[in-house]
């Protein structure tokens, strides 16, 4: 499936212009709270008791072969994406009462996946893929969320030299997806439930080389997402092995994301960048805070919230397609933001 949550959505975004104000004072807490409450209410209206009605989240890929669970008999990769974001919102500790039923169901649904997926293998590996297996990125994200050691071991065993996925799995601008998928598996291995990077340090070396190559185009998504996903790894560990200075790497990642932002003139940020701004707000890189970039991202999100409380994609067909997905991501960013 590829890059669930953070960039599976990218090809779905439109290119209409967004407006953003000049950077001023940090958003007031009351303004953030109001935006969060309106977003939760809008999402609750789109929730039918088992899933969101958003056509984007209801889509089923032709190659999907997922087995349903007790909590979600109609399990799909995009429904898992939504469940993951709901659980991440719960971890921020800011769940509105209107979303509590959806969060509770999502938590149950994700908890049912590790035993269901045990031994199934992966359908997109470069070594011994299993046609009936699970997409690597979704497996690693769920394993990380559920702190499941057996899933970390399964991911480690599937490693083939310096990677998991075949070269050329994604092409052109989408080529960053391979590194992003594998970065999630590194995060699982480096997490408390993991077994350490060990042989997977070769993957990290390759991802770092890819980051430096991507930075030749500082305005590109490839550079942004290479930096963003490596920043998630640094949330788990600063022990990256000999020869890698984690502090210096953190600065390099912030520089890459700042260069991407600098290529977006204020007042002309395209709609296709909204997901990146939401991801930037959630990135735990101190330099993004000190330079005001996270605040700029929050302002863009706040100004583009619809009157109904959700975020919408200009030109989407049907008009509501992608709205709940984008609203979940924006709400997660606002919930993660802390006024310095």
Question: Which of helix, strand or coil describes residue 160?
Answer: strand
Rg (CA), the chain: 19
pLDDT in tens, 224-269: 999 999 999 999 999 998 789 999 999 999 999 999 999 998 877 7
The CA-CA-CA angle for residues 306, 307, 310, to 5°, reads 45
pLDDT in tens, 42-79: 999 999 999 999 999 999 998 898 999 999 999 999 99
β-sheet bridge partners, residue 13 = none
Assessment of whether the complete model's pTM goes beyond 0.85: yes
SS3 content of the chain, % helix, strand, coil (to 5): 55, 5, 40
**Contacts of residue 4, Cβ cutoff 8 Å, sequence gap at least 6:** 77, 78, 80, 81, 84, 135, 137, 138, 141
Which of 114, 115, 58 has its CA nearest to residue 82? 58
Distance between CA atoms of residues 213 and 218, nearest Å: 10
DSSP 48-84: -SSSB--HHHH---TT--PPP-SS-TT--HHHHHHHH
């Amino acid at each position: 499936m590829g890059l669930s949550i953070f960039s599976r959505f990218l090809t779905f975004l439109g290119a209409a212009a967004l407006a953003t104000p000049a950077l001023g004072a940090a958003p007031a807490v009351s303004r953030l709270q109001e935006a969060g409450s309106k977003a939760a209410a809008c999402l609750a209206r789109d929730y039918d008791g088992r899933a969101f009605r958003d056509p984007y989240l209801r889509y089923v890929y032709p190659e999907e072969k997922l087995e349903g669970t007790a909590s979600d008999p109609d399990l799909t990769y995009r429904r898992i994406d939504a469940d993951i974001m709901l659980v991440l919102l719960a971890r921020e500790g800011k769940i509105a009462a209107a979303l509590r039923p959806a969060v509770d169901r999502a938590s149950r649904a994700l908890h049912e996946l590790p035993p269901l997926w045990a031994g199934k293998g992966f359908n997109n590996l470069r070594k011994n893929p299993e046609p009936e297996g699970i997409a690597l990125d979704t497996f690693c994200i769920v394993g990380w969320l559920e702190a499941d050691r057996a899933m970390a071991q399964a991911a480690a065993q599937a490693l083939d030299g310096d990677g998991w996925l075949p070269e050329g799995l994604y092409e052109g601008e989408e080529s960053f997806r391979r590194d992003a998928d594998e970065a999630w598996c590194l995060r699982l291995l480096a997490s408390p439930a993991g077994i350490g990077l060990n042989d997977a340090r070769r993957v990290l070396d390759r991802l770092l080389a890819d980051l430096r190559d991507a930075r030749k185009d500082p305005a590109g998504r490839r550079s942004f997402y290479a930096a963003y996903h490596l920043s998630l790894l640094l949330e788990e560990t600063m022990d990256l092995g000999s020869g890698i200075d984690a502090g210096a790497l953190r600065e390099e990642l912030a520089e890459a994301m700042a260069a991407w932002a600098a290529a977006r003139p204020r007042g002309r940020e395209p709609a296709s960048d909204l997901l990146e701004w939401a991801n930037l707000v959630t990135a735990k890189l101190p330099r993004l805070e000190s330079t005001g970039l996270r605040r700029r991202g929050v302002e863009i999100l706040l100004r583009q919230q619809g009157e109904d409380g959700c975020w919408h994609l200009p030109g989407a067909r049907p008009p509501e397609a992608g709205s709940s997905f984008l609203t979940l991501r924006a709400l997660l960013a606002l919930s993660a933001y802390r006024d310095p």
